[in-house]
Amino acid sequence: MTGRPRIVVHVADDGTVSAETVDVVGDACLDYVAVLEDLLDARTVHSGYTADHQRVARRAYEVEPDVDRL
């Protein structure tokens, strides 16, 4: 992942609320739908996947190869 997972929430002048997950990969984004509905006391009218849905989660750690770089 390129950054910390976060939710960006937009509130329009008419009170309409929209939200988008950023740096949440795969189906993990679906977990946020219920959380947002509970927090906002609302129901989802429309949802869709972002490009992050297709990305594969990288491990929290990466092993550096045991070689000297030239």
User: CA 70 to CA 5: how far, in whole Å?
Assistant: 35
1 domain residue, yes or no: no
pLDDT of 12:
93
Number of domains in the chain: 1
57 domain residue, yes or no: no
Residue bearing tokens 């219920």: 34
Q: Is the pLDDT of residue 1 over 60?
A: no
Its domain, for residue 26, covers 6-51
Buried b (16+ CB within 10 A) or exposed e, 17-53: eebebeebbeeebeebeeeeeeeeeeeeeeeeeeebe
15 domain residue, yes or no: yes
59 domain residue, yes or no: no
58 domain residue, yes or no: no
pLDDT of 4:
86
User: CA 32 to CA 20: how far, in whole Å?
Assistant: 9
22 domain residue, yes or no: yes
pLDDT tens sequence across 6-63? 889 899 999 888 888 888 888 888 888 888 889 888 888 888 887 777 776 555 445 5
14 domain residue, yes or no: yes
56 domain residue, yes or no: no
Q: For residue 63, what is the DSSP state?
A: P
pLDDT of 13:
96
